[in-house]
Structure 1
Amino acid sequence: MTKNVRVRFAPSPTGPLHIGGVRTALFNYLFAKKHGGAFILRIEDTDQNRYVEGAEQYIIDALNWCGMPADESPVNPGNYGPYRQSERKALYKQYADKLIASGNAYYAFDTAEELDSHRKDHEAKGKTFIYNWHNRLKLKNSLSLSEEEVKAKLDSGEDYVIRFKSPQDETLNLKDIIRGDIQIDTNILDDKVLFKSDGMPTYHLANIVDDHLMEITHVIRGEEWLPSLALHYQLYEAFGWEAPEFAHLPLILKPTGKGKLSKRDGDKMGFPVFPLEWTDPKTGDVSRGYKEDGYFPEAMVNFLAFLGWNPGTEQEIFSLAELIDAFNLERVNKSGARFDPDKTKWFNHHYMQEQDNAELAKALKPIVDHKLDVIASEAKQSASLGEITSSQTPHNDVDVNYMEMVVALIKERATFISDFWNLSHFFFVAPTSYDEKASKKAFKDGTKAILEQVVSIIEDIEDFTVEIIQTKIKGWITANEIGFGKVMMPLRLALVGALQGPDVFDIMFMIGKGESKKRIENAIKQL
């Protein structure tokens, strides 16, 4: 590309950032970085009635968490600021005036009541009211009024809007990188409002002016803006400016594939639709976030990239750097992308395996400490009633290095860090009960004698390593021609309380010789 690529993500601070917005930001970011360009965050806060406190910071935090910070933004300004539309308010009136002077726009003084009356009249006749070439000379505006009447209304402070004068009997030939050539009949277009007498522009005028002044080269935005493309092209032409290239991304659909994904879908099916947790400042309602639900940012970025884009290969796992290298807008689909909650978990499970064990152990430690505190408190209460044995008392102050070894054994089965306790509790505390179904399956006639023999073998092992434990017990099983299941199932049940967990010999090594013996002896007594 000959130009320096500049793209912008321009959300409104009206609440938390939906993952559809994050996907739009991601595709902008990938495109910018692919071409050595700049990724700009512009806050479109012209509608102050819908402004929500904290939403702007949430947007910034969400982008940072995903690993795609803006090169220019309200908190990291460049040479094209301000980066909040509310701070650019003084700019827009002069551009609206230019359109009036060139004959591409006009003042309209119709009240809301008058326009509503026109709509109802058209509906009664089976027609649709459109404010455009068809009827604008019959309405109250500077095209139908004399110059004196217009001046008088403006001088008196009468409310007005400035409307774009859409052309009649023309065909617009538009281009979209994703959707190709688009033809629009101008006779079906309405004369959109660009500016209001309160001094605020509408989105249409503000976004065109800002994109031009910020030298935006490519506008990559959601499909919902496709109906505005004709107006935006005409505005660039009216100003005599070169238009950027446009690309309209497909919708993210519900898991059923029918309709746009919403927060309600997430609430109903148990998954978040926001990158970070959000607390509504007015109601106090809390909405779940991917971060707080235990997703890694790499997983979120990877699964969002595949919502509407594919690399043209079988590869599914991409680092951010790999996505930048592979990304192109021509491989973005036109049709909507169905959101699959199970696939998001699949991505997270993959990235779990790539996490550093030491870092995961740090995340696990407060969970374990809390659980052990609760268990210790319950143990004290039970002890006062004579219901607890020493082998069931949890070990506090667990070393983080021990936790790192635990993580290495269990993370293959984990999707979230919150899964760790259920997968590892037996490394920290002896079972106090045994799965009933597993007990019936594992404990048969002769099981007691087998486990007593295993205890004897353990007592004779001096160097209690995984290899030696395994060699001694498996050697005894083979020598005595005992079925492995007759030994290993009750042994696992004694150590864990259920038929789950990593290799039995790893568990024995981790909890130690003394604790292994205690757990087996306790299982013999109880079962």
Structure 2
Amino acid sequence: MPVVTRFAPSPTGYLHIGGARTALYSWLYAQKTGGSFVLRIEDTDRERSTDEAVAAIVDAMDWLDLPAEGPATYQTQRFDRYGQVIEQLLAEGKAYRCYSTAEEVEAMREAARAAGEKPKYDGTWRPMPGKTLPEIPAGRDPVIRFATPLDGHTVIPDLVKGDITIANSELDDLIIARADGTPTYNFCVVVDDMDMGITHVIRGDDHVNNTPRQINILKALVGDEGDLPVYAHVPMILGADGKRLSKRHGAVGVMTFREQGFLPSALLNYLVRLGWAHGDQEIFTRAEMIEHFDIENVQGGASTFDPEKLTWVNQEHIKMAAPDTLAGELAWHLARHDIHDVPAPRLAQIAAVQQGRCKLMTEMAEGSLFLFAAPDEYAAKAVKKHIKADTPAVLADVHDRLAALDTWDAETLGDAVRGVAETREIGMGKVAQPIRIALTGGPVSPSIDDTLVLLGREATLARLNTAVDVFSA
């Protein structure tokens, strides 16, 4: 049977990195096995689900480039189907109407606790042979409960944790439809997985308690001999303090990592290694992840999120990237500085010069701003340190030498600048640093010849003239 995996987020907020890792593992396993990966939006919680959250999830999946097969499925568009299956279960005696109020159910649970038993619904409205049900309360709409098997065990076939066995006596008769008729999460998931032919459910281990309930409902629908998914419950991601990753650890939505300057390839590389390894290899291309990944090799213990390690991985991905592949991200970051419509070849040229210097794409963008606007002012500390009485004359010499050049390439420009230093018998730094300040406003830029190449003849000569005037005043 072909592998079919799914990613099924609830659109109640942004896509966090735990969800992104789950999506990645599901996508990789499908790619590895030649199967399919589908996206399902579990939006039945209408009070908390928002269109903005749906858009945030879709945008994050697009940025990470984890494409699903076909359009996303939305649970709210499948209510008719859920209603059909509920009616089927009722007709087969596998579900029943329950008229107990929430307060009454809580009282049942308190009584069970007091008796030292598992706190759960006591089955008041569950039909049983020879049992007389209470009189139906007037004007009260029932919930629909699934009739969980009363004995036996449910086995979860788990590729990460190993088989997990749960006694059915530990499980409640789960509500599968609320009093207003809307289906519940655990029920919708089962119907969706059945209809979509999901063969492998890869998700966080916070769902382990849901799984035996879902398996029992699925067995009621497909029979004991029917196909059930294989499960892989992935351990959670922890902060440095050993507690579950949260906002206090800097846990943010996936798109915030883009804003911070991370590449999608680097974030995926880092996430795949949070719980999985291939020898000692740390840096993976997408092709290498697909080639080597196997869900059965995911470790059973929790992983710790390390921002410094992520930054290192990002730096490695920036360094090894083809410049033209960085152009899109660089354009996105420049747009945040209100710089738009830069041609792709120009962006690739900038990236080629900057990529060996940057840990983050934000640094690349910020380090490139000088290319798009002359400095409004010069850094005071840099001026004090590097601008001397003879600087205007030095810069004037540089201007004249550069203006006389027939070609504008790195080697020729570098020779011209060195020629000024040699003629004046001064160190290269006493020429290069004033040039940097004149062109960028500060003392930091790529190598001086690369800086001149990127800036171009016209802008370079104009900025040198301006600096000569300013520093002569």
Candidates 270, 277, 290, aligned match of 1:310: 277
Q: Does the aligned pair in 2 maintain the 1:74–1:83 contact within 8 Å?
A: no
Shift of 1:178: 0.3
| Structure 1: distance between partners of 2:15 and 2:147 | 31
The answer to whether residue 340 in structure 2 is matched with residue 340 in structure 1 is no
Q: Does the aligned pair in 1 maintain the 2:420–2:431 contact within 8 Å?
A: no
The answer to whether residue 17 in structure 2 is matched with residue 19 in structure 1 is yes
| 2:61 alignment partner AA | L
Change in CA separation of 1:523 and 1:128 when aligned onto 2, cut-off 3 Å: farther
Change in CA separation of 1:86 and 1:261 when aligned onto 2, cut-off 3 Å: farther
| 1:111 alignment partner AA | T
| 2:185 alignment partner AA | Y
The answer to whether residue 24 in structure 2 is matched with residue 40 in structure 1 is no
The answer to whether residue 126 in structure 2 is matched with residue 142 in structure 1 is yes
Q: Which residue of 2 aligns with 1:505?
A: 449
| Secondary structure class of the residue paired with 2:145 | strand
| Structure 2: distance between partners of 1:306 and 1:46 | 32
Change in CA separation of 1:126 and 1:181 when aligned onto 2, cut-off 3 Å: same
Change in CA separation of 1:147 and 1:157 when aligned onto 2, cut-off 3 Å: farther
Q: Does the aligned pair in 2 maintain the 1:45–1:84 contact within 8 Å?
A: no
Shift of 1:6: 1.8
Shift of 1:247: 0.6
> Can you give the 5+ residue segments of structure 2 that lack an aligned partner in the other structure?
none
Shift of 1:327: 1.6
| Secondary structure class of the residue paired with 2:133 | helix
Candidates 231, 254, 261, aligned match of 2:245: 261
Q: How does 1:60-209 map onto structure 2 within 5 Å?
A: 60-74=58-72, 84-97=77-90, 100=93, 108-121=98-111, 125=114, 127=116, 130-131=119-120, 136=122, 140-142=124-126, 149=133, 153=136, 159-168=142-151, 172-196=154-178, 198-209=180-191
1:65-96 deviation line (CA, Å, top 9, x unaligned): 43233224456xxxxx9994424222322443
1:265-314 deviation line (CA, Å, top 9, x unaligned): 47xx4x74144xxxxxxxxxxxxx44566554434433332333223341
| 1:131 alignment partner AA | K
The answer to whether residue 440 in structure 2 is matched with residue 440 in structure 1 is no
Change in CA separation of 1:46 and 1:146 when aligned onto 2, cut-off 3 Å: farther
Q: Does the aligned pair in 1 maintain the 2:141–2:180 contact within 8 Å?
A: no
Shift of 1:503: 1.6
| Structure 2: distance between partners of 1:246 and 1:463 | 64
Candidates 353, 376, 384, aligned match of 1:409: 353
| Secondary structure class of the residue paired with 1:500 | coil
| Structure 2: distance between partners of 1:23 and 1:247 | 13
Q: How does 1:121-520 map onto structure 2 within 5 Å?
A: 121=111, 125=114, 127=116, 130-131=119-120, 136=122, 140-142=124-126, 149=133, 153=136, 159-168=142-151, 172-196=154-178, 198-238=180-220, 239-240=223-224, 241-254=226-239, 256-262=240-246, 264-265=247-248, 269=250, 272-275=252-255, 289-291=256-258, 295-319=262-286, 321-352=287-318, 353-356=321-324, 370=338, 405-414=349-358, 418-420=362-364, 422-443=366-387, 454=398, 457-458=401-402, 465-475=409-419, 477-478=421-422, 482-509=426-453, 510-512=455-457, 514-515=461-462, 517-519=464-466
| Structure 1: distance between partners of 2:440 and 2:37 | 52
Calculate the TM-score normalised by the size of structure 2: 0.80
1:306-337 deviation line (CA, Å, top 9, x unaligned): 33322334142322x33222221012122223
| Structure 2: distance between partners of 1:140 and 1:408 | 71
| Structure 2: distance between partners of 1:501 and 1:464 | 18
Change in CA separation of 1:119 and 1:504 when aligned onto 2, cut-off 3 Å: same
Change in CA separation of 1:51 and 1:433 when aligned onto 2, cut-off 3 Å: closer
Shift of 1:249: 1.2
Calculate the TM-score normalised by the size of structure 1: 0.72
| Structure 2: distance between partners of 1:41 and 1:298 | 20
Shift of 1:455: 5.4
Q: Does the aligned pair in 2 maintain the 1:365–1:400 contact within 8 Å?
A: no
Identity %: 30
| Structure 2: distance between partners of 1:365 and 1:159 | 57
Change in CA separation of 1:109 and 1:458 when aligned onto 2, cut-off 3 Å: closer
| Secondary structure class of the residue paired with 1:167 | coil
Shift of 1:511: 4.0
| Structure 1: distance between partners of 2:23 and 2:332 | 29
| Structure 1: distance between partners of 2:408 and 2:198 | 67
Q: Does the aligned pair in 2 maintain the 1:96–1:195 contact within 8 Å?
A: no
Candidates 460, 469, 472, aligned match of 1:522: 469
| Secondary structure class of the residue paired with 1:149 | coil
| Structure 2: distance between partners of 1:128 and 1:237 | 27
* Count of residues in Structure 1 that have an aligned counterpart in Structure 2: 464
Shift of 1:223: 0.8
| Structure 2: distance between partners of 1:196 and 1:428 | 59
Q: Does the aligned pair in 2 maintain the 1:42–1:83 contact within 8 Å?
A: no
| Structure 1: distance between partners of 2:301 and 2:168 | 25
> Can you give the 5+ residue segments of structure 1 that lack an aligned partner in the other structure?
76-80, 276-288, 373-396
| 1:246 alignment partner AA | Y
| Structure 1: distance between partners of 2:470 and 2:120 | 82
1:366-418 deviation line (CA, Å, top 9, x unaligned): 677x579xxxxxxxxxxxxxxxxxxxxxxxx9988666644443344345555
Shift of 1:460: 6.1
Shift of 1:431: 3.5
Q: Does the aligned pair in 2 maintain the 1:17–1:274 contact within 8 Å?
A: yes
Change in CA separation of 1:8 and 1:445 when aligned onto 2, cut-off 3 Å: closer
Q: Does the aligned pair in 2 maintain the 1:5–1:216 contact within 8 Å?
A: yes
Shift of 1:177: 0.3
| Structure 2: distance between partners of 1:225 and 1:361 | 38
Q: Does the aligned pair in 2 maintain the 1:177–1:247 contact within 8 Å?
A: yes
- Which protein has the larger Cα radius of gyration, Structure 1 or Structure 2? 1
Q: Which residue of 2 aligns with 1:384?
A: none
| Structure 2: distance between partners of 1:310 and 1:259 | 22
Shift of 1:112: 1.7
| Structure 1: distance between partners of 2:347 and 2:62 | 29
Q: Does the aligned pair in 2 maintain the 1:165–1:191 contact within 8 Å?
A: yes
Q: Does the aligned pair in 2 maintain the 1:208–1:232 contact within 8 Å?
A: yes
